[in-house]
Structure 1
């Protein structure tokens, strides 16, 4: 029986594309799907045959603010990261929560990221089932620590498990004074307790992990309601490159891709010069993601592009250099080409470590420590180390054989009422 499913896609394009891919698969099964996301992604959502519910808050714009730059500088520190999110989103919380609630009305099922457990609150208010989306491993386990607290591994399995609970508790402490007034005022629900809500979510709420067991092996102590589905890839076979891009690719050997998604360096011009110099020192050609209107310039061996689907571009590259966002990392790994991760903050260092552990790329280099020589050496290693090339090809074949959206659809349909 067709149902209305609401997906809340919090974040930048790397968070929205998996939800669009999942929504399109659900739509093909006869369900109606609404995707709540920043307004700039409304066309992407609508072109997939889904119902966009635009938000007035855009994470990409927030990163350009002074507080956003402070957030990017926080690195992997969970206190700095979560505190930064609170400062950035706090003044906008009431408006944002109201828009999310309005967009979710009439749903039969709501799927949302774990941030604030918004799906839990909305599901409780509407009397419908909800599930949590994890873009990185976020359910407690003794097998490894939370991506934001790698130091916890020093305390063994106990420390690993507690690290997840500590990060979630800290996040809930920071945002509950936004969420509980919303629960009382708009949802007509009692305030959620400090410890009760996390425990209930851990024990009861279904989780869809939007990543592959080939990249993150499933821990043995995850309960059965945590579903590791595989990645939700959004392919865009209808894409046609510009004449300039097509000519550049045909003019020489496969280039290297360099791009940092929605991450905004404090000094974009200096960062671009560093990239240009590293490309020249490495002796490679490169496709660099950026805005040519901002002063970024192309050259004989460098082409600046604005927006090219990773699913089309990455398989045509010799290697990819990026910030380590979950979606970009997945696209690079599936393409079967070596990856160089230069993380800024959050879970990005974790994905860089996973790439290195899979021998699909060198050790990650934090963006703030990036130098011309260091980036050039990492590119050369990625392209010429046979172990890395074989590792990248191996994981690429494994991910290409998976169908994460189909697996996720099976789980979702099992949760629908009736």
Structure 2
């Protein structure tokens, strides 16, 4: 069965879908990943087919943070989504029996799947189905209740698609009314299957969600078969106490010049060693007890550290929980404040330190505090997260979809 997985955004947004895709492929499905050019190599390293979606996620993230990347114009969301929609149509047209889609592109993917007459499934990295039991990420309190606030927030996101979906429906030869039912399915209504890729031990499934919405557990990015750690990294790890991991992923684009000295001073003040990952910030930190590195699988590196300073993206948060190391969350934008506050309340992280308020002294204090957290609680969460079979549950849902036909 030919499964197309649609994913856009940052590296952390894409990586879990590679783990999901690899699991599906290992169980007999032909899997293609539709993603931006930036991730072509990353997809091919996992021996999955890559299908191109145009657009520069680096520039889009920079624009959302109001930070210009030299030599790159800041795209509008409408222009970005127009290109993405065309890319999804082209990707699906290369042969697709089932479509699996991330949250941001679910409206587009649903319309394309409807046009092709193939079943589809939502695969989201965050809790995004309105509930009375807690506030959704990014939802603001209006006094009307969590469910109403969640629906209001999700409905507000429709504005990005107001022009995109009708134009896409015309291209696909669909009636304009085909767009009407997309929004309810996006929110989990009308029985459209949605799998949420985080652990129920982190965010328990609310009892008021419909039965078609399932919390599966995390989808772990695969380690490429031919990957091996740099001997310099291995030597550094073996040369002293476990270091602190520092990485901000794809969020702080081209902000390495400011971050480097700040991180170096914090590490020195805290009296620890550190492994600092460059990410899209271009972060490079020099020091006797600091090693700057490029991309290294979290599954391999994080268990060899004593704590993790990170931006609290959904994927990195899950990886740190799985590794059983305490965290210092430094949220930047989007759903990151949600995860940062949540892991703090779970006892596995210090209080969130928003990126805009980051100082060397504050970071040094937070690192020291993280090292004194209750390790029994951190270990307990790690065991729970590892026990989930997230990708396996999605596989079961897809196999059922294939038998039942289009929704």
Check whether TM > 0.5: yes
Report the CA distance between 1:294 and its aligned residue: 5.5
Answer yes or no: is the 8 Å Cα contact 2:254–2:281 preserved in 1: no
Answer yes or no: is the 8 Å Cα contact 1:119–1:131 preserved in 2: no
Report the CA distance between 1:203 and its aligned residue: 2.3
Residue in 1 that maps onto 2:354 = 366
Partners of 1:163 and 1:50 lie apart in 2 by: 39
Task: Identify which of 93, 97, 100 aligns with 1:108.
Answer: 97
Residue in 1 that maps onto 2:85 = 97
Superposed CA deviations along residues 220-253 of structure 1, whole A, max 9, x for unmatched, are: 1111100111001124174321121111101110
Task: Identify which of 218, 236, 242 aligns with 1:231.
Answer: 218
| 169 and 21 in structure 1: CA distance in 2 versus 1, 3 angstrom threshold | same
Partners of 1:135 and 1:190 lie apart in 2 by: 30
Task: Tell me whether 253-262 or 266-275 shows the greater mean CA deviation.
Answer: 266-275
Task: Identify which of 131, 138, 154 aligns with 1:141.
Answer: 131
Answer yes or no: is the 8 Å Cα contact 1:265–1:271 preserved in 2: no
Structure 1: any 5+ residue segments left out of the alignment?
A: 73-85
Residue in 1 that maps onto 2:65 = 69
Q: Does 1:21 align with 2:6?
A: no
Answer yes or no: is the 8 Å Cα contact 2:269–2:364 preserved in 1: yes
Q: Does 1:167 align with 2:165?
A: no
Q: Which has the higher helix share?
A: 1
TM (norm. structure 1) is 0.89
5 Å-filtered alignment, 1:71-220, equals 88-105=76-93, 106-116=95-105, 117-152=107-142, 155=143, 159-191=145-177, 196-201=181-186, 202-220=189-207
| 291 and 184 in structure 1: CA distance in 2 versus 1, 3 angstrom threshold | closer
Answer yes or no: is the 8 Å Cα contact 2:263–2:360 preserved in 1: yes
Task: Identify which of 332, 336, 344 aligns with 1:356.
Answer: 344
- Secondary structure of 1:376's aligned partner: helix
Residue in 1 that maps onto 2:402 = 416
Q: Does 1:222 align with 2:209?
A: yes
TM (norm. structure 2) is 0.91
RMSD: 2.2
Report the CA distance between 1:199 and its aligned residue: 2.4
Superposed CA deviations along residues 383-412 of structure 1, whole A, max 9, x for unmatched, are: 123x2x222111111112222111111111
Structure 2: any 5+ residue segments left out of the alignment?
A: 69-73
Answer yes or no: is the 8 Å Cα contact 2:309–2:328 preserved in 1: yes
Partners of 2:319 and 2:244 lie apart in 1 by: 15
Partners of 1:20 and 1:168 lie apart in 2 by: 26
| 45 and 290 in structure 1: CA distance in 2 versus 1, 3 angstrom threshold | same
Partners of 1:417 and 1:168 lie apart in 2 by: 31
